[in-house]
Copies of this chain bind each other. A is one copy, B any other.
């Protein structure tokens, strides 16, 4: 089974080392990890680099049987835009998606940080308004509803730290949890007479 490893780790200074670590964990679960920066990029003209990275990632997502996405907030209230886009693409292709956020807080709490709920105004339709005048999504979800609902609807699962304590963006505890859930699900789907993974 091939799994595309979406996440903002590609922006880390040690992106390649993190990719190696994620792929090693995948192997322990009998899974082949496809990491966004796998491709060799030397020799690509700078002005073609974005298109080359895009094409390589899209090809890996198409080739993957499933996606595991690190949806920990990245430079703002929500997940990395590239990762969110990839979760959307995988959903469009009908692939199971597993996701995690190392930040246990719901989107509402992150967006309204420093704004006590009692001081937030209500819009005429009952939604809670941010001081910017626009509604704050308030479904108790970790991020925009399309992301977590897509994960559930795809047959996957979404995880946050069970003890309520935020972990570093690159922490791999919940990455392992996703792989465990994915492999368990495959085993159930395959049934008692199926060959081992």
Contact = CB atoms under 8 A, between A and B. Distances in A.
Contacts of A11: 134-137
Interface string A44-70: 000001110111011000000000000
Task: Please report whether the interface of chain A is mostly helix, strand, loop or mixed according to DSSP.
Answer: helix
Question: How many subunits of this chain does the assembly comprise?
Answer: 2
Given A54-B149, A88-B89, A144-B80, A123 B75 contact: no
Given A84-B84, A92-B88, A93-B92, A77 B75 contact: yes
Interface residues of A, number: 55
Contacts of A80: 144
A166 interface: no
B13 A146 contact: no
Among all A-B residue pairs, the 10 with the closest Cβ atoms: A92-B92, A88-B88, A76-B76, A54-B149, A81-B144, A85-B88, A50-B139, A89-B92, A11-B134, A88-B89
